[in-house]
Structure 1
């Protein structure tokens, strides 16, 4: 397997774009080569099989969506109040809107996982780690709310994000930004 990190990243970014735009059926090695602008056959040198590629896509979306540590540290300088949680939730929405492809690719992976036990297991581990990491960050930062409140907020935010990604007109009259504020106030007592 090839080890050129820049090319691997380019192929993974191409995979995210193809997956978001065309779905799992469009995610072929040839499509990756075309999207990444590399010679035909290049992608096959970087992924041992489809499962390997999907696992690497998950990791790449994490890299793309994880906020910069210095930005988080700067935000954490504020008092640990509901207002700070709202700020973090608004930042999540901003990142989602800035990188729709990563979120759409992850939605596609979720759908694929319903038909693939191997992918289901890997995706479950991936999202469990993400959720537990977010809960721990929240609690360790002294932010208001408890574990159950954070899980409820996760579920509410996920629903809002899915609609914002797929049918934004549905929530537009309800002002998603205002809904985020209400979710935090109501779910994190």
Structure 2
């Protein structure tokens, strides 16, 4: 059976489960974590910290821009305060990058990891400028190979790996979703590797009967 959220559970039990955002928010409040508009990935990280140490973090969530609130002036020396994650901001940051390296192209996941840096720095009370964001984006776009997978996108990662497996040739998204629902219902990592191992074990048991 899947573990239920409880204050006495271990980090391993937590990681082996799959929990919806609404349940994570309720559990975070139970633990004393300020929820605000925190994303699921951020809540998971904070919950792990409490389960591991027993201490509730003091950091407050970075507030989102409210409707009608004036956005930051897009300039290299502007301190990041009211950031808007839209095409205009991304185009400006790309311009900063291309001023240093005109031939660089976008990489999958670059905006996610850039936003992670921004949120982390602001939550720590550090002042950063748009030049800092541009420099970080430059590093991400220059990095060799693929960027790390987005942790929160476990379903998307699972589907990608499912389709990449030659054993699943000819199978569609519905098959991938069914496989995801199966691995999600059992304790353990929510990865395609774990699913493949589960299915392999089941076939061996079935073949021996």
TM-score of the aligned structures, taking structure 1 as reference length: 0.26
Larger helix proportion of the pair: 1
The structure whose Rg is larger is: 2
TM-score of the aligned structures, taking structure 2 as reference length: 0.24
